[in-house]
Amino acid sequence: MSTVYDFTVKDRKGNEVSLKQYQGKVFLIVNTATGCGFTPHYDPLEAMYKEFKDQGFEILDFPCNQFANQAPGDADEIHEFCTLKFGTEFPQFAKIDVNGEDADPLFAFLAQQKPFEGFGKGLKNAALNKFTEANNKKYGDKAYIKWNFTKFLIDREGKVIARFEPTVDMKEVREAVKAAL
């Protein structure tokens, strides 16, 4: 597979969705959680979505409970939380695994295209790195994603052009999206 358009995922109701329907758009694919310290990223994500959706921008939200069980609940509970607390309007898909033997193939592909390069510098980033090392040990070489709110930027041809760890300032993510549009 050479682009994200080659993948099919499940929407939050369990229906199959071909990513070909996003052909020609710029989009972010994000693994999310409702009980994470990075959950406030929903605010700038939704702001970007509203600002850029008419220019061909999408955000694809994939809840994941593999990081300290921070995405409890079923698809409807997660969707209700996101829409009520953050007013999200971008598409939310079925809860998935992003690591291990049951990792969604899309996320394995994304991580192979743009591997983890670290959380950056500083005490907060070092602490997160230690915590994720312990959490991801059980996945071995299939620990593709290190934490919630990892974002992958996809260009209009379906190529992965950037990876943003949750520690990256959302202003930087916004600027990259704007440049890709």
Q: Indicate which residues carry an active-site annotation.
A: 36
Give exposure, 123-146, as e/b (b: 16+ Cβ within 10 Å).
Answer: eeeeebbeebeebbeebeebbbbb
For residue 108, with 0-12 CB atoms within 10 Å meaning exposed, 13-18 middle and 19 or more buried, which class applies? middle
Burial (CB count <10 Å: 0-12, 13-18, 19+), residue 168: middle
